[in-house]
Amino acid sequence: MFRADREGREPDARFSLANERTFLAYLRTSLALFAAGAAVIRLEVIGRRSWDLVIGLGLVGLGVLTSGTSYQRWRTVERAMRRSEPLPRTGIPLALAVGLTLLGVLFTVLAVLL
């Protein structure tokens, strides 16, 4: 366990479990991004190796960002709940939305033009 387990009060189990479900959702999202990126690279979806690598590695990069920040997010939310503080904000959902939108637009343009 981590030091925050000894801080503050034990939060309502429903909130702790919701925080854990969010953590697991981040991990599922990262696994899906890894799989999609690997598929684009391996199956050469666009048909041009360089573009397949750009899109595939972009998806894998978003997966790394998601999985790499998921535990820290869970931990900071758990600590805030124990201290009865406001929940911290995060920019990860925005980064994922922007990244996936850009990759989707790039993929669409390439699929139409190539």
Question: What pLDDT, on a 0 to 100 scale, did the predictor assign at position 8?
Answer: 82
Structure tokens at 63: 């997966």
For residues 74 and 66, give the distance between their C-alpha atoms in angstroms, rounded to a whole number.
Answer: 12
* pLDDT tens for the 114 residues of the chain, in order: 556 566 788 899 999 999 999 999 999 999 999 999 999 999 988 889 999 999 999 999 999 999 999 999 999 999 999 999 999 999 999 999 999 999 999 999 998 998
Question: What pLDDT, on a 0 to 100 scale, did the predictor assign at position 40?
Answer: 95
From residue 3, how far is each of 8, 79, 108 by CA, in Å? 11, 9, 47
From residue 86, how far is each of 3, 32, 41, 67, 110 by CA, in Å? 19, 31, 42, 24, 44
- C-alpha closest to that of 70 among 93, 86, 101, 38: 93
What's this model's pTM, rounded to 2 decimal places? Answer: 0.88
